[in-house]
Structure 1
Amino acid sequence: MKGLLVAAAALGLIGLAAKPASAAGCEITVGMVMPLTGPAGAYGQAGAKAVAMAFRDFNEAGGVHGCHLVTDTRDSQSQGNVAVDQATQLVDIKKVPVIIGGIISSESIPILTSVTAPAGVVQVSPASSSPTLTQLCHAGKTNGVFFRTITSDALQGTAAAKFAIDEGLKKIAIIDVNNDFGVNMVKQFSAAYKTLGGSITSITPYNPDQSSYSAEASAAMAGDPDALYLISYPVDGATIARAWISDGGPAKFLLNDGMNSSDFIAAVGARYLNDAYGTSSGTAETASTKYFYGNFKAFSGGIAPDAPAADRSYDAGAVVALAIAKAGDGNPAAIKAAIPEIVAPDGAPIYAGREEFTKALALIAAGKPIRYEGVIGPINFDTCGDITGPFRLWRIQNGVVTTIGQMSAEDVSKIQSALTK
């Protein structure tokens, strides 16, 4: 009962933040399916607040012909079946033209295949990175409605492998979440890492939301690895890392982007993470980046701007808002057609925030092209709704995440091409 009350309270607070009073008396409702609770709850809480901030900025800029965007936000509980149920209600009953979500791939994939693609409703995911989503597009199963503001793990796994080798992590164990995200990340990482000269001593999948991971940590130590590649989410990841350290595992880690989190560092203990390295779908700094990092914490009530999925969730909200403005109303087909047009290569650059969105609305009204350059950098969608961009290479030292390098998508592609020869 306590968990239900907490989830309801979180949902209510997010709903209030995302529904500013509409002077014009009209609203366009966007569905949002986020994991507000469960193992990926940290992603969803930060992501929902970031979308709410983007909509706040857009509404203050004037909205769609004076109509405000509001969200109907649903908690997926980090479970695919719950996500599908909530998305179905939003599409079939609420008739929303867009769904923002899910956050994790095990939510986004079933929402896409069971709900949004059949209904022709636009879906924008801020953080689902599974290559399966691209494969579904190539198989003709997405109806062109899916977009995401994160790069595919098909690239990130290769980037992580090269980074590990470069940092001297050449004998590694893997613990990965047992879902589409974890399985694909292991597949992509393993192929590149072994070819580049690395040795994988063990691969241990885990089921999320367990109270203890001592068994998985012990199993992963077989073969005497030098480091652990932890593919996880902040809450489970912290529990696994503590178990690994407690059982005598070496305090050397390779981490996915979900552990680029102050909450994860605090939960594990900064002194254990001074040899922790990680990759994230990169950020090429723009004026949007500076705006978001300067304003999100105050808006969100204390959530750090580097919280998992926060930055790219703002961008997902901005893309949806600007596309609805370009479409002129809440027609799903028109919104789908408008998304590439608000990131047009020849468009006037538009950044985050009320003033920039005011400028964008004026240009749209005048029939002129715009190019939204987001918190994560310039956004360009390909025909499958995927983006390409740099990968950020980072290290944790003294409790602080520091960027120590960057790997371009082109560099990663060259590595992949070389591996197949």
Structure 2
Amino acid sequence: MAAAIALLASTSAYAAGCEVTVGVVMELTGPAGKYGQAGAKSVEMAFRDLNEAGGINGCTLATDIRDSQSQGNIAVDAATQLVQVKHVPLLIGGIISSVSIPILTSVTAPANVVQISPAASSPTLTQLGKDGKTNGVFFRTIQSDALQGVAAAKYAIDLGFKKLAIIHVNNDFGVNLVAEFSKAYKALGGELISDTPYNEKQSSYAAEVTAALSSNPDALYLVSTPGDGATIARTWISQGGVQKFLLNDGMHSPDFVSSVGAQYLNEAYGTSSGTTNTASTDYFMKTYEAFSNIPPQSPAADRSYDAAAIAGLALAIAGPDNAAGLSKAVHDAVDPNGTPIFAGKDEFAKALALIKDKKPIKYEGVIGPIHFDEYGDVTGPFQLWRITDGKVVTVGEMKTDEVDKLKAQIK
């Protein structure tokens, strides 16, 4: 809790003639607390780097960080304060879809305030854009679960998991990921023998595990967060469930491994939004842990840095008082025809000089080159991993074109 409280302080260590405050709503506590704490530190680090590079049009970047407690209604209250009372020009967050979606629909879209989510992966966000309900102000630095579901289904089949039980969190993220996975998995010849949703923060998941164990699955596909996921996995094991698991991206976590016990996870596999290494990746991997005391592989850490870097560069391009031009400036920060820019003080100084001279830039992130489509979505590869001797180890990758081709074949 002390770490969460520490994150609430503004990052205004750099004195300047003026200050531009960006709103940040992160899941610092609750089931997604580990993600939000890592994400908030990444935002602080990116803003530190931008400030040391000279700041935004002579101004220091600062944050006003609010804890959503992993709850949509609390997130909306926090975002409303930031947008309607503090009048922040841009909002970063939330980390999870069940927080990001209500912020978007209730606060940022109606107010035409740009929102960048580092890790909200629900396909609902794409659909909101297609339905004209985002006003073009929403962006995210993670691939949609419409794609992760396909990658996970192919990985399951390749692992020989032909009969699966599913236990998943009963929110927009879990429901949509499982829907996309199920469609692809069945099309590839897999059989789903049970699909059990659960509500978060229960003291026991024995009933859900009992329901999922109704047949004899090859493995359990567990779509969860590290805290609840560990409780479910331990219950599954204690009730005699097969010790073979397929896991979602949020379970790429040392906390999950230590809570369950490495000895039970030697046949645990998972998928995550992947990265294409750039100079930004190298910089982040070498620098982040010393800044944050959090491993750089933590879910949401890398893409939160990118969300903040793009936010800061967009504010430099448009100007903090140009709300109408900020959406376009987000696209301009990753202009494919611009000069490549990477993470860190020196690279940001180069970017800010180019922006001052009205020259285009192309920020290439920690997660790789970034391009936003008309709905604020990005594409990219998916990482295939497994847990070996208590460590999460990357064992392969599904490239963007492979996922797209497979998705096109599935009706």
Query: Into which bin does the TM-score normalised by the smaller protein fall?
Result: over 0.9
In the TM superposition, what is the alpha-carbon distance from 1:12 to its structure 2 partner?
Answer: 4.1
| Distance of 2:246 and 2:304 partners within structure 1 | 24
In the TM superposition, what is the alpha-carbon distance from 1:105 to its structure 2 partner?
Answer: 0.5
- The corresponding residue for 2:326 is 335
- SS at the partner of 2:255? helix
Question: Which residue identity does 1:279 align to in structure 2?
Answer: T
- The corresponding residue for 1:67 is 59
| Distance of 1:403 and 1:170 partners within structure 2 | 22
- The corresponding residue for 2:315 is 324
1:28 touches 1:330 (CA, 8 Å); kept in 2? no
| Distance of 1:405 and 1:116 partners within structure 2 | 38
Large movers: runs of 4+ above 6 Å: none
Matched, 1:18 2:8: no
With normalisation by structure 1, the TM-score equals 0.96
- The corresponding residue for 1:112 is 104
Alignment RMSD, CA only?
A: 1.1
- The corresponding residue for 1:225 is 217
In the TM superposition, what is the alpha-carbon distance from 1:168 to its structure 2 partner?
Answer: 0.9
With normalisation by structure 2, the TM-score equals 0.98
Question: Which residue identity does 1:180 align to in structure 2?
Answer: D
| Distance of 1:114 and 1:329 partners within structure 2 | 22
Structure 1 pair 16–131 and aligned structure 2 pair: CA distance change class (3 A):
same
Q: Cα deviations across residues 28-49 of structure 1 (Å, max 9, x unaligned)?
A: 0100011111101011111001
In the TM superposition, what is the alpha-carbon distance from 1:391 to its structure 2 partner?
Answer: 0.6
Select 1:123's aligned residue among 115, 125, 131.
115
In the TM superposition, what is the alpha-carbon distance from 1:185 to its structure 2 partner?
Answer: 0.6
In the TM superposition, what is the alpha-carbon distance from 1:344 to its structure 2 partner?
Answer: 0.7
In the TM superposition, what is the alpha-carbon distance from 1:16 to its structure 2 partner?
Answer: 3.8
| Distance of 2:214 and 2:12 partners within structure 1 | 52
Matched, 1:386 2:408: no
Question: Which residue identity does 1:213 align to in structure 2?
Answer: Y
| Distance of 1:69 and 1:168 partners within structure 2 | 50
Matched, 1:398 2:389: yes
Select 1:344's aligned residue among 324, 335, 339.
335
- The corresponding residue for 1:247 is 239
In the TM superposition, what is the alpha-carbon distance from 1:409 to its structure 2 partner?
Answer: 2.2
1:76 touches 1:83 (CA, 8 Å); kept in 2? yes
| Distance of 1:11 and 1:39 partners within structure 2 | 13
2:10 touches 2:64 (CA, 8 Å); kept in 1? no
In the TM superposition, what is the alpha-carbon distance from 1:169 to its structure 2 partner?
Answer: 1.1
Select 1:357's aligned residue among 344, 348, 363.
348
- The corresponding residue for 1:3 is none
| Distance of 2:39 and 2:240 partners within structure 1 | 35
Question: Which residue identity does 2:396 align to in structure 1?
Answer: G
2:9 touches 2:65 (CA, 8 Å); kept in 1? no
In the TM superposition, what is the alpha-carbon distance from 1:10 to its structure 2 partner?
Answer: 3.8
Matched, 1:103 2:123: no
Matched, 1:370 2:361: yes
Q: Cα deviations across residues 155-194 of structure 1 (Å, max 9, x unaligned)?
A: 1101100011011111111000000000001100000101
Q: Cα deviations across residues 374-406 of structure 1 (Å, max 9, x unaligned)?
A: 111111000000000011111111111111111
In the TM superposition, what is the alpha-carbon distance from 1:15 to its structure 2 partner?
Answer: 3.8
Question: Which residue identity does 2:235 align to in structure 1?
Answer: A
Question: Which residue identity does 2:130 align to in structure 1?
Answer: H
| Distance of 1:202 and 1:144 partners within structure 2 | 38
| Distance of 1:26 and 1:242 partners within structure 2 | 52
1:97 touches 1:121 (CA, 8 Å); kept in 2? yes
1:17 touches 1:49 (CA, 8 Å); kept in 2? no
In the TM superposition, what is the alpha-carbon distance from 1:11 to its structure 2 partner?
Answer: 4.7
In the TM superposition, what is the alpha-carbon distance from 1:331 to its structure 2 partner?
Answer: 2.7
- SS at the partner of 2:58? coil
- SS at the partner of 1:50? helix
Question: Which residue identity does 2:142 align to in structure 1?
Answer: I
In the TM superposition, what is the alpha-carbon distance from 1:218 to its structure 2 partner?
Answer: 1.6
Question: Which residue identity does 1:145 align to in structure 2?
Answer: V
1:28 touches 1:69 (CA, 8 Å); kept in 2? yes
Q: Cα deviations across residues 243-295 of structure 1 (Å, max 9, x unaligned)?
A: 11111111111011001111111111111111111111111111111111111
In the TM superposition, what is the alpha-carbon distance from 1:418 to its structure 2 partner?
Answer: 1.3
- SS at the partner of 2:372? coil
Matched, 1:310 2:301: yes
Superposition map of 1:82-231 within 5 A: 82-231=74-223
Question: Which residue identity does 1:20 align to in structure 2?
Answer: A
Q: Cα deviations across residues 46-86 of structure 1 (Å, max 9, x unaligned)?
A: 10011111001111101112211111111101000110111
Select 2:22's aligned residue among 16, 26, 30.
30
| Distance of 2:410 and 2:206 partners within structure 1 | 35
| Distance of 2:65 and 2:215 partners within structure 1 | 46
Structure 1 pair 284–17 and aligned structure 2 pair: CA distance change class (3 A):
farther
| Distance of 1:250 and 1:42 partners within structure 2 | 28
Q: Cα deviations across residues 293-350 of structure 1 (Å, max 9, x unaligned)?
A: 11111111x2111111111000101010110111122432222120111101111111
| Distance of 1:415 and 1:221 partners within structure 2 | 30
- SS at the partner of 2:75? helix
| Distance of 1:311 and 1:239 partners within structure 2 | 27
- The corresponding residue for 1:266 is 258
Structure 1 pair 255–234 and aligned structure 2 pair: CA distance change class (3 A):
same
| Distance of 1:270 and 1:286 partners within structure 2 | 32
Question: Which residue identity does 1:355 align to in structure 2?
Answer: D
| Distance of 1:16 and 1:184 partners within structure 2 | 35
- The corresponding residue for 2:229 is 237
| Distance of 1:86 and 1:237 partners within structure 2 | 27
| Distance of 1:241 and 1:25 partners within structure 2 | 53
2:10 touches 2:62 (CA, 8 Å); kept in 1? no
| Distance of 1:72 and 1:200 partners within structure 2 | 45
Of residues 26-35 and 12-21 in structure 1, the stretch that sits farther from structure 2 once superposed is 12-21
